[in-house]
């Protein structure tokens, strides 16, 4: 369960503009705002997502903007130098485009695919915190926006587990499907801003 405070539309959009973001005109790109919980509860979905069409809020949801236990603590691949941690308080124009998220088993779900570089860090100390420390990277690393199930059922998950290795993940599949339906039908780029709780 998330403890992220509630915001007005003016507060959220004002913060996006404060960090250099531009709010798209209605009917153009959707803007999704992720708000990362200051509490950062380990391996829990404790963040929020807000979807805007112009300055109109059209949907809210919950999820995570951080990796789960498996990727923060249990990675063993020598090629991995740490879990990707997004830099917060950054706005990206045209970050996502409709596509598919493919799981390790080959299962697919409709998703928003990363098509532009993001700023991120690599957290390798294997503790229970997602930390913006060390060298800052700028790259496309296939951190998509997706849900927590490949089935068509109404599913809500509480633990992140393997569902995020840096992806922005909605934990309520009914909310997620509403978002994906809107963004896929418009078939435009989706802008994204990741904010730290403020």
pLDDT in tens, 106-119: 889 999 999 999 99
State what percent of residues in the chain have pLDDT above 90.
83
Residues 36-71 have pLDDT tens digits of 999 999 999 999 999 999 999 999 999 999 999 888
Which pair of structure tokens corresponds to residue 136? Answer: 């800052």
Distances (CA, A) of 32 to 72, 103, 116, 191: 25, 23, 15, 6
pLDDT band of residue 76 (cuts 50, 70, 90) is low
User: CA-CA-CA-CA torsion for 96, 102, 103, 109, nearest 10 degrees?
Assistant: 80
Q: Are 147 and 109 in contact (CB under 8 A)?
A: yes
Residue 182 pLDDT grade (very low, low, confident, very high; cuts 50, 70, 90): very high
Q: Quick one: pLDDT at residue 104? A: 77
What's the whole-model pTM score? 0.95
More confident residue, 102 or 181: 181
The closest alpha carbon to 61, from 189, 183, 187, belongs to: 183
Kindly tell me the number of DSSP H helices and DSSP E strands found in the chain.
3, 11
The secondary structure of the chain in percent helix, strand, coil, rounded to multiples of 5, reads 15, 35, 50
Separation CA 145–CA 166 (nearest Å): 10
Q: Average pLDDT, whole number, for the chain?
A: 94
pLDDT at 75: 67
108-114 and 90-102 beta bridge pairing: antiparallel
Distance CA 97, CA 58 (A): 19
Name the pairing type of β-strands 190-196 and 30-36: parallel
Calculate mean pLDDT across residues 79-86: 86
- pLDDT of 77 > 70? The answer is no
C-alpha torsion 77→79→83→88, nearest 10: -170
Beta pairing class for 83-86 and 90-102: unpaired
Q: Flag whether pLDDT at 139 surpasses 90.
A: yes
Domain boundaries, given as residue ranges, for the chain: 9-196
């Amino acid at each position: 369960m998330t403890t992220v405070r509630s915001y007005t539309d003016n507060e959220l959009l004002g913060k996006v503009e404060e960090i250099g973001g531009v709010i798209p005109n209605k009917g153009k790109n959707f803007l999704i705002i992720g708000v990362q919980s200051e509490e950062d509860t380990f391996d829990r979905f404790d963040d929020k997502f807000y979807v805007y069409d112009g300055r109109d809020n059209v949907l809210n949801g919950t999820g995570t903007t951080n990796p789960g236990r498996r990727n923060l603590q249990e990675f063993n691949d020598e090629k991995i130098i740490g879990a990707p941690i997004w830099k917060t308080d950054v706005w990206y124009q045209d970050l996502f485009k409709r596509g598919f998220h493919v799981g390790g088993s080959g299962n697919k779900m409709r998703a928003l695919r990363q098509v532009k570089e993001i700023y991120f860090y690599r957290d390798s100390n294997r503790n229970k915190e997602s930390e913006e420390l060390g060298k800052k990277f700028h790259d496309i690393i296939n951190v998509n926006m997706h849900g927590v199930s490949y089935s068509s059922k109404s599913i809500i998950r509480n633990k992140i587990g393997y569902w995020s290795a840096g992806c922005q993940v909605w934990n309520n599949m009914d909310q997620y499907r509403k978002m994906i339906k809107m963004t896929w039908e418009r078939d435009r780029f989706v802008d994204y801003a990741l904010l730290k709780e403020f």
